């Protein structure tokens, strides 16, 4: 199995992992911390972390594989959703494109980047999981494993089990159709009437599915069936 390193503190595990990859000959490496000071989310968003309350984890592997960027994103979301489901004995959902929602609160997010390290190209999968945080006054749509299940988990144990689970699942042979089917089966608010904001206008709609190109298909009350890419539509739930 891939090596896993624990670090006391860092700005970003997605940046820190480059040092470990450069120093080791392993093709797959993971790093984690409970004190990430400058975490990043999708599309330039910041992932705010609280010391000793949440997990920041990154996994790097050589990118000489058959994954497209979209399918890797979806597959990692499916794997992370399944991990949290198994770990908490609960029923999380995937909020397109790759947030994990537990009892209607975001508890985890993903950032996947491509890097050239030495002579090789790598995918760097960054995962943040809110584990023990209880105060979400500034982030009313967020939660943690503790706040959403009432259960306390050791951050080190979450990291170790996530690392093992990701290593086991990520390199299984899966078709794009299988990945997409599982993603859509666990899609947050699918087939439910939901209010959206599109170009500053509110409109009700029903999520239908996500397609292989990464678009979200929504049946809108006024405009019929439309498809959207990330940042083109906002949930108001």
pLDDT digits (tens, 9 = 90+) for 119-170: 889 999 999 999 999 999 989 999 999 999 999 999 999 999 999 999 999 9
Q: How confident is the model at residue 51 (pLDDT cuts 50, 70, 90)?
A: confident
Q: Kindly state the percentage of the chain with pLDDT values over 90.
A: 82
Which tens digits make up the pLDDT trace of 202-227? 999 999 999 999 999 999 999 999 99
The pLDDT value given to residue 37: 87
List Cβ neighbours of 94 (8 Å cut-off, separation of 6 or more).
Answer: 77, 78, 81, 100, 101, 183, 186, 187, 188
Q: How confident is the model at residue 66 (pLDDT cuts 50, 70, 90)?
A: low
**Structure tokens, 105:** 């609160």
H-helix or E-strand containing 155? Answer: helix 155-170
pLDDT of 100 over the 80 cut: yes
Q: Where are the domains of the chain?
A: 3-185, 193-235
Mean pLDDT of all residues belonging to the chain:
92
- The larger pLDDT score, comparing residue 198 to residue 42, is at 198
The pLDDT value given to residue 123: 94
The pLDDT value given to residue 73: 95
The pLDDT value given to residue 64: 75
Under a CB-based contact definition with an 8 Å cutoff, are residues 64 and 72 in contact?
no
The pLDDT value given to residue 49: 65
CATH class of 3-185: alpha beta
Q: Which is nearest to 38 in space by CA: 111, 101, 98? A: 111
Instruction: Calculate the CA dihedral of residues 6, 40, 179, 231 and round it to 10 degrees.
Output: 170
Q: How confident is the model at residue 38 (pLDDT cuts 50, 70, 90)?
A: confident
Which of 42-46, 64-68, 174-178, 192-196 shows the lowest per-residue confidence on average (mean pLDDT)? 42-46
Q: Which is nearest to 148 in space by CA: 132, 165, 127? A: 132
Q: Which is nearest to 95 in space by CA: 84, 86, 104? A: 104
Please give the average per-residue pLDDT across 85-97, as a whole number.
Answer: 97
Q: How confident is the model at residue 59 (pLDDT cuts 50, 70, 90)?
A: very high
């Amino acid at each position: 199995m891939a090596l896993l390193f624990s670090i006391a503190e860092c700005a970003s595990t997605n940046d820190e992992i480059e040092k470990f990859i450069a120093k080791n000959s392993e093709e797959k490496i993971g790093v984690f911390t409970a004190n990430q000071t400058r975490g990043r989310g999708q599309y330039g968003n910041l992932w705010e972390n609280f010391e000793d309350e949440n997990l920041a984890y990154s996994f790097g592997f050589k990118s000489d594989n058959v994954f497209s960027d979209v399918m890797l994103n979806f597959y990692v979301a499916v794997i992370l959703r399944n991990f949290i489901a198994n770990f908490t004995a609960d029923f999380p959902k995937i909020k397109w494109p790759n947030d994990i929602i537990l009892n209607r609160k975001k508890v985890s997010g993903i950032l996947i980047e491509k890097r050239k390290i030495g002579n090789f190209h790598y995918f760097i999968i960054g995962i943040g999981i809110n584990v023990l945080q209880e105060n979400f006054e500034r982030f009313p749509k967020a939660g943690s494993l503790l706040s959403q299940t009432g259960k306390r988990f050791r951050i080190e144990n979450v990291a170790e089990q996530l690392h093992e689970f990701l290593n086991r699942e990520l390199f299984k042979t899966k078709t794009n159709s299988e990945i997409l089917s599982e993603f859509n089966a666990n899609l947050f608010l699918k087939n439910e009437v939901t209010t959206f904001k599109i170009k500053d206008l509110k409109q009700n709609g029903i999520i239908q599915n996500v397609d292989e190109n990464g678009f979200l298909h929504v049946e809108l009350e006024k405009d019929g069936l439309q498809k959207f890419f990330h940042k083109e539509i906002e949930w108001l739930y």
